[in-house]
Amino acid sequence: MALSEPEFAELQSRLHVQLDPGLLQLAVTHRSYAYENGGIPNNERLEFLGDSILGQAVTVMLYLRYPELDEGDLAKRRASLVSSVALAEVARSFGLGEFLLLGRGEMLTGGRDKASILADTVEAIIGATYLDAGGEVATELVMRLIQPLLDDPDRFGAAAMDSKTSLQEIAAARGAGAPVYTILEEGPDHDKRFVAIVAVGDLVTARGEGTSKKQAEMAAAFTAWTELTRS
């Protein structure tokens, strides 16, 4: 079922942008919903576009904001800000999950809070903003979305850059032993995704997703590290 006019208005209000309803609906249309509704267009092309705009905007911002950092440190900071973990955090901050158009299977398996889907949809919305309102407005949206991450360096600084090491250190400090990772694969060969589940003794169990095993493990480790530092 398509988004209603009140839903369009609410989502645009949360984003602080005015977008063409058709583009905004396309941006929140997951491929599972598209497949179940006769193969209508989905948000993957917008996601592709938005990923590029996001990366460029963050790269320029970091270059100008941190003149003292070398290329390696800039790359690490960029990776932490555009990761699926970070973008999913952004999406949850304004309740994006409630506006997603998902197929029945994804809805039944918690798709509205799945990090990969939320992150991809954020990128699609950025792409839609670029097409409808131009590069300047799209860049402003990117900066507005990631500002809370920049304001919280403990969460998206060193720990996010090397979350597996950070998790190992906090696990050792609490006498829990080394984190144990389990890797699962999802999806067809042409669209493979990996899920990592990490257990830190009896303290915490966390899940992460990614397009590679390493990315999934880093996402799981960061989620576990975040939970442990807050407990």
Residues that are catalytic: 51, 123
* Ligand-binding site membership of 36 (annotated): no
| Integer-rounded Cα radius of gyration of the chain | 18
Give residue for tokens 């599972």.
32
* Ligand-binding site membership of 98 (annotated): no
| C-alpha distances out from residue 188 to 34, 105, 112, 194, 208, Å | 17, 16, 21, 11, 19
* Ligand-binding site membership of 123 (annotated): yes
Query: What is the rounded distance in angstroms from the CA atom of residue 76 to the CA atom of residue 2?
Result: 39
Tokens standing for residue 20: 């063409």
Q: Which residues contact 97 (CB under 8 A, 6 or more apart)?
A: 91, 112, 113, 118
Task: Return binding residues.
Answer: 47, 120, 123
Task: Return binding residues for Mg(2+).
Answer: 47, 120, 123
